[in-house]
Chains A and B, each alone.
Chain A
């Protein structure tokens, strides 16, 4: 059994040490996704905690047969953040959400010291084509389906899929090699 599967199983058995390991692995990612949606550091902090607490309490609903653990918690994060943006209080306080994409945030982010990949990521997003920025933004950060993304970007469904493949390939080349 892979290490991750074991961790997830322990997590499902309410093992806090396993939970902490998973948090260390995915915490920043979840925070990034949430922050990219709500565009507010304090709210993002709060929501990120909500996401992990939700995950902790409904851990029994996860099954590796349904997908990756990261994908599962990513889904919770997007839904939690989007729910928040739909709330009355949030709408009133955030009349004009700036339209920055994740790339703009990364480029202006000075606080990447925690990530050793900071330079690689910055280089990646700088060289990333506009279409890649949009596809990744919609599919990974916003949780659009392939069909929704194709409508939003006015490109065929099949093109969304292959373009995404190429964009992620670029990303992998930058940050993993």
Chain B
């Protein structure tokens, strides 16, 4: 197996704040890894190190067996950063052509990529006139136009509508299938789970779990029962083994590690129980169980990323 990203024993500090603590991570060609974790987990710092934007303090970071601080190594990289800004006076086509040339490819490579991302009709529009979602697709086109071996995508779906997100995930899956390694951070956990081969959970700078999406959720014994019921919340909480009760319109959701026992008592207490559904825990719940926090859209320490030295 060929590695496109190797991170070994990496610590990173901002003054007294530890952003990464002994992190090891290897990404192979053709593998898609979702990097998840709450705000401040260290996701953006990890991406910053892999892009060469941050200098390694302790440990080793290699992209395609090269140092990402070297410009030549970064020819292997395609990057979508959080809050990417563009010159407002440049057109979409000019920006993507420029990205192609910076990556060592012909400017003509821009055309097919614009079509692939679905923004060929925006080619002559200036970046200053784009919506947030269009800017995000422009960023993705610029990341792809260099035909990279490793894609580093930090919150790439922010601002995308449903159709654009679907196109994005399809594009990503196609690139992965073609042998491109992908690392992405996202707060849309369930969508990431659909395309990711592996999920790496960061919490307070440490890798607390690394597994397939199904492997991660299988670790949780919890199940979710949803139904329409005449029982109020207090009555439901009084049932044995109920962990939590939440309402969504006329439906109620009960989390439990013992669904069979709960259901027997619930059916006995409510003869009108309807629309019954029992599901395993999702990745979002697994993430919450591992970190005690919801997945964060942006890293708190993102502002600290970017010192050139």
Tell me if chain B binds chain A.
no
Q: Which residues of A contact B (CB under 8 A)?
A: none
Q: Which residues of B contact A (CB under 8 A)?
A: none
